[in-house]
Structure 1
Amino acid sequence: MEKIYYPNEETVKNAMQTDDPLLLLVAHDGRRLIVSSIDDAGEHLILLRLAGYEDMDLDKYFRLVVNKDGADWTFVCPSNYENITNKSKRIQRFYKDGFSIIPLALNEIGYMVGIDIPRRYRRHIDMM
């Protein structure tokens, strides 16, 4: 997995040492992880831009906020995810893929924490 640290690895590692929240973008295919302290990027779209990627690429990533207490998954399933037209099946696949790939990314940066989908993002899960 390619790891991209913003603004650099040392800054992110320092944030990890003090348990500052991190923003993570994990590519749906599991090939790339972009990570930053929340103080350095602010939000996922800004982090994507700062890492040199286009806004349109945001839907290619699982989005998380992480610290040593856990990982909050911003559960937003793109309407074209895996080209699955059935909304319920698409959300099920997104959920399954996320819970397969996200733990690998968390492990890559040394976090063995639970993954939570905050209540405000659960509207799609209720459809399953």
Structure 2
Amino acid sequence: MDVTYFPDKAIVKQAISEDIPLLMLVSYDSNKVLLASGKIDNYFRVSVDSESAQWTFVCPKDYKNIFDEEKKITKFFEDGVTTIKKALKQIDYNVELIIPNRFRRHLALE
């Protein structure tokens, strides 16, 4: 397998040694792997296609050192919408940003 490490191999290997969660993409033919670390909670995680961008809405416990839960989730939501939409525009995707139901439990969006 050809493994690509993000941001680099040393950081991913360090994360593995410290049992820090990783993101992994594996090709169906098992020839390529993308393994990402660098504290995945420092990233908004989004799956994108031509119809939508689905945001894995998981607010880190220490997001911006905001301790009030409601304020922290609100800020994470606002920052995420702004940042993700900016990134989508940068890659020429004009799609709806969706938070799947299973990740909406902490939101009062309805």
TM-score range, shorter chain: 0.5 to 0.7
Structure 1 residue aligned with 2:62, among 41, 57, 80?
80
Structure ID, larger Rg: 2
Provide the C-alpha distance between the structure 1 equivalents of 2:79 and 2:44, rounded to a whole number of angstroms: 10
Partner of 2:106: 124
Structure 1 residue aligned with 2:46, among 64, 75, 85?
64
Structure 1: runs of 5 or more not aligned: 1-5, 8-43
- Work out the percentage of aligned pairs sharing the same amino acid: 42
Structure 2 residue aligned with 1:45, among 10, 17, 23?
23
Provide the C-alpha distance between the structure 2 equivalents of 1:73 and 1:52, rounded to a whole number of angstroms: 17
TM-fit CA distance, 1:126 = 3.0
What TM-score comes out, normalization by structure 2 length? 0.67
What TM-score comes out, normalization by structure 1 length? 0.58
Partner of 1:93: 75
Give 4+ residue runs of structure 1 displaced > 4 Å after superposition: none
Partner of 1:13: none
Secondary structure, counterpart of 1:71 in structure 2: strand
* Equivalent position amino acid for 1:53 in 2: S
Aligned length in residues:
83
Partner of 1:105: 87
- CA spacing shift, 1:106–1:82, aligned 2, 3 Å: same
CA root-mean-square deviation = 2.4
TM-fit CA distance, 1:52 = 5.6
Alpha-carbon deviations, 1:20-61, whole Å to 9, x = none? xxxxxxxxxxxxxxxxxxxxxxxx7125x936633xx10000
* Equivalent position amino acid for 1:76 in 2: V
Partner of 1:11: none
Partner of 1:115: 97
